[in-house]
Structure 1
Amino acid sequence: MAGIWRNGVALITASILGACASTAPRHEQKPSARYTFWRPAPVQGAAEPSDVVKQAPPEAWRRIAPENLLVMDLKDGARVVIELAPDFAPVHIANIRAFARAGWWNAATIYRVQDNYVSQWGNGDATGPLPAGVVKQPPAEYDRALAGLPFRPLGYPDSYAPVTGHSDSWPVGTDPETGRAWLTHCYGYVGVGRDLSPDTGTGGELYAVIGHAPRHLDLNIALIGRVIEGMPALSARPRGTGALGMYETPAKEAIPIARVRLAVDMPEGERPAYEVLRSDSDSFSRVVTGRANRGGEFFIRPAGGVDVCNVPVPVRKVGG
């Protein structure tokens, strides 16, 4: 009986649908919506990026101002040099300059090394008075106005921003509808440690990305610059075994910092000097094309596309 009933229901349903179909107004069938996909268009014979950098003319390079170079010397002899980005986080960077000049990080430590994530340094839970001139609660400098920024679009889609590209050789995400722009969390980029919002961090605790680009942090933390020399001193360290990669026995494991200075405050003969490839140069455009279309004897199939964090901006050390 059950089987007959199911068949009966099927027949009744078919009859009802048939009746509805015969009385319903007829419409011309519209074509079904089709998804559109971005498809890579590989460029054959693109120049090798390293060759482009070697051949870049002098005018394709921008000298980094010494007031935008933060030099961190570790007690084991290693040195880390950070280029600051004052156009994106001016209040935090003013704080960082004040911290450096006050010797805030002298005798501080690298106390957190989390695998495939970040290396962090500072004074940890220090509760002493802040140096003169430090703003205790800076604004949330997580993005800024796009207007007034030179901008070279990357030309490829992104999962975290409507449009990505470079501004004065910094990788940025942008939203043309809101008119905002922000630095992206790429390998080697340096951000400000903070507590839960509304805290924005003073800049006294800093971290550097030592793994795959954690772009989910974009627009949530103030990025203040990038490491341009000495990344192994941050990334090639034993991983912390505590929560979030913290060293569980800081007295034994933490890496002591000897001092942190601004290059502009160092004796002129000791100042390191660097140049960065200008993102508005033809050489930079050729680097981007080369990164998106790797060739040579090894690569069989060029990707035909590239992520903004997979275009490391060329930097070179020069004489003072």
Structure 2
Amino acid sequence: MRFIASLILCVSALLAGPASAQIMDVQITGRAPLPSQTDPENLLYLDLSDGGRVTIWLRPDAAPLMVERVKTLTRQHFYDGLTFHRVIDGFMAQGGDPKGDGTGGSSLPDMKAEFNFLPHVRGAVSSAREGDKEDSANSQFFIMFAPRLSLDHKYTVFGRVIDGMQYVDAIARGEPPAHPTKILHAYIAADHPPAYTPPPVEVAPVPTLDLTLPGAKPAPMVVKVKPAPAKPAKAAPKK
């Protein structure tokens, strides 16, 4: 009975939201040390245009190469201004492409796959790749809206959202979205980034009203010129 109860607990934690991630991450002999959720070197901030900051717990113990790549690109400000170009409701939000159409990447070489023990649950952050090419991950990534365990051991999970999942849920849907959500800035917490700053509000120009009646001809413009005052005659010089 204890075994069944433990099994139910594990499955519940697996399907739960991002805040329960730490329950499943038990240290296993032979694996790299589990990084702390408070270690600023392994916390990635994504400031989104939809209103807030997303905190991602990076997992170098499970995907050291991909974590190092994301840190490098973040510190190069590569992700600043990029959009989530492919967002499927109930599935995931994909971003990290400078072209914005799913075909782009960084100037760095593609990465070797690091399929691991981390599951594709809600809030999981995984590296995108080119079609069936397993070793083609580069800069693109996706964040899961809901569990999709069929992706396990096919894509490299390298982190998980631990705060700000509501801003992930608010990412504009579409392939591509009509008005895509942007990554305003990406930071590593250890670099002491500033607090989240919302994007400037764009004010639409006020249209001018045309009060001319249909068919009416505009009145000619009359310009009145005021004559210059007459100059007084100069007195004749005395002889």
TM range (shorter): 0.5 to 0.7
Counterpart position of 1:91: 65
Q: Quote the offset at 1:78 in angstroms.
A: 1.2
Residue 260 of structure 1 is matched in structure 2 by 186
Bigger proportion of residues as helix: 1
Match of 2:71, as an amino acid?
R
Contact 1:113 1:119 (C-alpha < 8 Å) held by counterparts: yes
Percent identity over the alignment?
30
2:112 matched to 1:139?
yes
- The equivalent of 2:170 in structure 1 is 236
Is the 8 Å Cα contact of residues 68 and 85 (structure 1) preserved in structure 2? yes
Matches within 5 A, 1:208-287: 208-211=143-146, 213-240=147-174, 246-249=175-178, 253-267=179-193
Q: CA deviation at 1:238?
A: 4.3
Structure 1 unaligned runs (5+)? 1-37, 54-61, 144-181, 241-245, 272-320
The answer for the alignment partner of 2:199 in structure 1 is none
Pick the structure with greater CA Rg.
Answer: 2
User: Displacement, 1:197?
Assistant: 3.0
Task: Verify the 8 A CA contact 1:192 1:201 in the aligned structure 2.
Answer: no
Query: What SS does the aligned partner of 2:114 have?
Result: coil
Deviation string, structure 1 residues 107-164 (Cα, Å, up to 9, x no partner): 101222212110111223465752xxx4x22221003xxxxxxxxxxxxxxxxxxxxx
Could you tell me which runs of 5 or more consecutive residues in structure 2 were left unpaired when the two chains were aligned. 14-19, 21-35, 197-239
> Which residue, 112, 118, 126 being the options, matches 1:183?
118
SS in 1 for 2:80: coil
Equivalent residue letter for 1:142: F
**Residues 112 and 136, structure 2, Cα contact 8 Å, conserved in 1:** no
Confirm or deny: 8 A CA contact 1:71 1:79 kept in the other structure.
yes
Q: Which of the residues 115, 136, 139 maps onto 2:89?
A: 115
Distance of 2:167 and 2:186 partners within structure 1: 14
Q: 1:40 to 1:97 in 2, by over 3 A?
A: closer
Choose from 37, 42, 46 the match for 1:72. Answer: 46
| Contact 2:127–2:141 under 8 Å retained in 1 | yes
Question: CA offsets per residue over residues 24-50 of structure 1, 9 Å max, x none?
Answer: xxxxxxxxxxxxxx999569xx9xx9x
Task: Give the RMSD, CA atoms, in angstroms.
Answer: 3.0
Distance in 2 of aligned mates of 1:270 and 1:205: 25
Query: What are the within-5 Å matches in structure 2 for residues 101-180 of structure 1?
Result: 101-123=75-97, 124-125=100-101, 127=104, 130=107, 134=108, 136-143=109-116
Q: Secondary structure at the match of 1:81?
A: strand
Structure 1 residues 256 and 237 mapped into 2: Cα distance closer, same or farther (>3 Å)? closer
Change (3 A) 1:42 1:85: closer
Q: Please list the CA deviations of residues 162-214 of structure 1 after superposition, one character each: whole Å capped at 9, or x if unmatched.
A: xxxxxxxxxxxxxxxxxxxx111111000001112334344411111102x10
Q: Any idea what the Cα deviations from partners look like across 1:37-65, whole Å, max 9, x if unmatched? A: x999569xx9xx9xxx9xxxxxxxx5521
TM-score by length of 1: 0.47
**Structure 2 counterpart of 1:150:** none
Q: What number of residue pairs does the alignment pair up?
A: 167
TM-score (norm 2): 0.61
Q: 2 CA distance for matches of 1:238 and 1:248?
A: 6
Kept in 2, the 8 Å contact 1:71–1:262? The answer is yes
Q: Matches of 1:115 and 1:96 in 2, distance apart? A: 25
Which of 200, 206, 210 pairs up with 2:135?
Answer: 200
